[in-house]
Structure 1
Amino acid sequence: MTGSDKTVGKAVPTGYPGEVETPERAAKRRSATRGAFFAEFVDMFDIYLPTVILTPALIYFQPAGMTAGLSAILTSLVFATTLIGRPIGAAIFGGLADRVGRRRATITSVGGFGVITLLIAFVPGYATIGIASYWLLILLRFLDGICLGGGYTGALPLAMEYAPKHKRGLLGGVILAAFPLAYIVINLVGMASFALFPLAGPDSPYAVWGWRIPFVLGALLAGVLVLYYVRYVSESEIWEASEKKSAPLKNLFTGPSGRSFLQVFAMMTGFWLTQNMVTLFLPTTVLHTVLKLSGSQLTTALLIAYACLVVSYIGSGVIAQRIGRRRFFVVLGVLIAVGGSTLMALLMNGTHLSYGAIVLLVCVFSVLVTAPWGVVLPYINERFHTDVRASAFGLGFSASVIIPSFYAFFYAGLNQVVSAAVAAALLLGIGGVLGAVGAAAGPETKDVDFTKAA
């Protein structure tokens, strides 16, 4: 894609005017795509470690007789600190990726969360160092969140910059499909861990050391990812040929880039709100509290739904490549607001439904509401010029999750004036409309040439 490329063997059209994809560049594209898929998988694997693996073992870090309220606060801090760390990491490593290269930023951030994840696996319990064990765990998860925020910030733009524009939709969907795949794998790891190591109080095998094994596995995956980037992934040729600027974050929030960022932030805030209704509200409130599914029923329903998402993310990327990203987001936002809200109401009032019907509704609901995520990767990267692309993608993707993370408070407030089902449907409607309006405020991007200013 740059003037420095050398043609090796037979050249293949890329879709860029007057340009070709040589076998050499095709090999680099495949390596970058595999690396981005693996980076997304490892990132999400690490994100789900506390939720699935550590939560049952938190009693190991707590004093006996702790009140339920204090326990809930400390538990939430373990997860909230990771959330807070991610946008900070996106800003730090996004700026690094724009200044010194996507590949170097990826290696640094992934190496960081690999080491920190390994350190978490060796944190002693309350019986050894008292309440300091909890604060150490929280500190390490915060630092982990910072590094996790940088893991995809360099890797994913790098892959997009190697992708011919007519393949960016497909490859973006494939890379983001690593998210539901990671959810499936971490749950299977958790189920195996619970079966192998009994959990019965703070001195039980699982609480003392069983939970540590998946964390060691997460650290090993990060180590493998670092080695892969060191050995097989080349730096982005688009970035290498670009004009480097000293203050990418400042440039991101000023001028045309600043206006683009506000538009992307608004759209992503809407789609994060709808996403949280699937990943957080659906399992905890709908399936567990309202429909009262057993643990095995709930896990099975979600595993089936997430298996569907692996395929649907790729399908979304392909569809948006044909009809356009902007049109796809606008149509999906409306469908989520109308169809997603309807499906949510059916589930919230579905105590009379059979288990099979519930699973079917969960799958259809999850596929519809999360469909935009198969398209966000190419879209956000296409909205910004090379000098701020990594910073813009990292912050546009992760900072926009902050407001939607308070969905439980929004839901509780709405539930004061309307029924629970209507409150949930309203949140989906608000998220869908905000996503559609945000997308409509921006241009179509699927024909953007990365070698020129976006």
Structure 2
Amino acid sequence: MKTLAATDVVQHEREESIEAKRRNAIKGAFFSEYIDMFDIYLPVVVLSPVLAFFQPPHLSAGMETILASLVFITTLLGRPVGALIFGMIADRVGRRKASIYSVSGFGVITLLIALLPGYESIGITSYWLLVLLRFVDGIFLGGGYTGAMPLAIEYSKKHQRGFVGGFIIAGFPAAYVSINLVAMLMFAVFPLNGIHSPYAQWGWRIPFVLGAVLAGLLALYYVHKVAESEIWKSETADKAGESAVQAEKLPLSDLLRGKSGRSLLQVLVMMTGFWLTQNIITIFLPTGLLFKTLHLTGFQITLTLMITYFVLFFSYIASGMIGQRIGRRRFFAILGPVIATVGAGLLYVLANVDLTLPAIIAITCVLAVIVTSPWGVIVTYINERFVTDVRATGFGVGFSLSVIIPSFYAFYMNALSAFMPLRLTPVALLCVGGLIGAIGALMGPETKDVDF
């Protein structure tokens, strides 16, 4: 009896240990997504009003637009590179180490950006340093979720993976709300009136320092609180006796062939569709529709987006739980056509009907919930599509590489404007993206019962 009782105690302690590791991994992934998106939005929200601080004076409007876009595009280009690099690190040396390396990297780069001198100090070098640092930042940011998310999903219980995936991606709207609150505080405390004003000289630096501090705290959290994936360690131990040639093989070579290669192709097709619909909502809607078409004031746009992203925090979690109940594949297959019809209809109404501000806010919230709901399921689904050997690389590449084609949505809108009114072009792209996403999902199997 004593032996049996002792065994029960040991088993109970082991279960408690696994549960603590599970919670820590999930919290780490959530904050990794949160800090990742906080850093992504720093130049969009905080730096946009003072980009002239880094640029030569008296630029033409066209040149200002080009230079401003490069700051953001370079970050975007760096993310797939980082996803590939850190995906291979996560599959070869561990999810935890990849997370520590990437988080530490974008913390250091973010701090260096906060310390950059302006054009008046070092000339055009200031601008090119900003662009270079944002590209390197994008590489580390691309690696941030590549280790953290597979680690959290691998620790999750099978019946809870849907909730966990939705909870992790909810870090995105939480970060958006946070960075806007920080920016509003900075604008209120430090006046912005030309490049010699307090905000332009050093007020914008404070949010970047805050982002660096958050990244440093997250790195320490992974060092002291997060354990390596038990599934990854088990898989590594099972293959310890393989030949040296097999052991040296890169995860990328396995990813691009056989079953994993077919999974990657399917994920890329599906994600191309859902990135296109996502970009219409997160990029075009605030800048092209609310600002240029509906002519809302800065306060009205901020109010609309803050409410929308607050709602999205909960809708992502709800989407993950619905996908867990009805199946990921079925969820995508249903939502794709809904986006192409109901979502497109709401976007048309928003762009073409004279509405009050409360109506605009309400329609924007419903539209955003419908169009972005696949993202509450995507993190879990892509991780389930790949075996342990290439899961981090497959997730990182499938998630990041697919963003490139949809990122040129403005060019597609311009091309479509030759055949239809410009206001209809985002509606058409929303239809196309929703259908591509659904077709991509139907190309793959159901995954909610997959064992790791």
Asked if Structure 1 and Structure 2 have the same fold, meaning a TM-score greater than 0.5 normalized by the shorter chain, the answer is yes
The aligned residue for residue 183 of structure 2 is 190
The aligned residue for residue 218 of structure 1 is 211
The aligned residue for residue 372 of structure 1 is 374
Question: What is the 5 A alignment of 1:241-280?
Answer: 241-243=234-236, 245=247, 246-280=249-283
The aligned residue for residue 18 of structure 1 is none
Deviations 1:250-289 (A, max 9, x none): 1111111011000000000100000001100100111111
The aligned residue for residue 93 of structure 1 is 86
The aligned residue for residue 26 of structure 1 is 19
Q: Distance in 1 between matches of 2:160 and 2:358?
A: 37
| 2:154 matches 1:161 | yes
The aligned residue for residue 333 of structure 1 is 336
Q: Distance in 1 between matches of 2:375 and 2:442?
A: 17
Deviations 1:150-196 (A, max 9, x none): 01100000000000110000111111100000000001111111111
| Shift, 1:73, TM fit | 1.1
Comparing 362-371 and 241-250, the one that deviates more: 241-250
Q: Distance in 1 between matches of 2:164 and 2:233?
A: 22
Residue among 64, 79, 86 paired with 2:57: 64
The aligned residue for residue 311 of structure 1 is 314
Question: What is the 5 A alignment of 1:123-134?
Answer: 123-134=116-127
| Shift, 1:299, TM fit | 0.4
| Shift, 1:290, TM fit | 1.0
| Shift, 1:10, TM fit | 6.5
| Shift, 1:39, TM fit | 0.3
Q: Distance in 2 between matches of 1:26 and 1:185?
A: 29
| Shift, 1:416, TM fit | 2.0
The aligned residue for residue 109 of structure 1 is 102
Amino acid at match of 1:238: I
Cα distance change on mapping 1:7 and 1:226 into 2, 3 Å: farther
Q: Is the 8 A contact 1:89 1:145 kept in 2?
A: yes
Q: Distance in 2 between matches of 1:364 and 1:174?
A: 20
| Shift, 1:9, TM fit | 5.8
Amino acid at match of 2:340: A
Comparing 109-118 and 243-252, the one that deviates more: 243-252
Deviations 1:45-103 (A, max 9, x none): 00000000011111111111112111111111100100000000000000000000000
Cα distance change on mapping 1:165 and 1:8 into 2, 3 Å: farther
Runs (5+) with no aligned partner, structure 2: 1-6, 240-246
Amino acid at match of 1:280: I
Question: What is the 5 A alignment of 1:390-409?
Answer: 390-409=392-411
Q: Distance in 1 between matches of 2:9 and 2:125?
A: 59
Q: Is the 8 A contact 1:344 1:421 kept in 2?
A: no
The aligned residue for residue 391 of structure 2 is 389
Deviations 1:406-428 (A, max 9, x none): 00111111122101332111100
Residue among 180, 183, 198 paired with 2:173: 180
| 2:264 matches 1:281 | no
Q: Distance in 2 between matches of 1:128 and 1:186?
A: 28
| Shift, 1:8, TM fit | 5.6
Q: Is the 8 A contact 1:7 1:22 kept in 2?
A: no
TM-score by length of 2: 0.95
Matched residue SS, 1:242: helix
| Shift, 1:11, TM fit | 6.0
The aligned residue for residue 137 of structure 1 is 130
Matched residue SS, 1:108: helix
| 2:55 matches 1:55 | no
| 2:290 matches 1:297 | no
Q: Distance in 1 between matches of 2:202 and 2:92?
A: 41
Matched residue SS, 1:25: helix
Amino acid at match of 2:268: F
Matched residue SS, 1:388: helix
Runs (5+) with no aligned partner, structure 1: 1-5, 13-20
Q: Distance in 2 between matches of 1:270 and 1:41?
A: 24
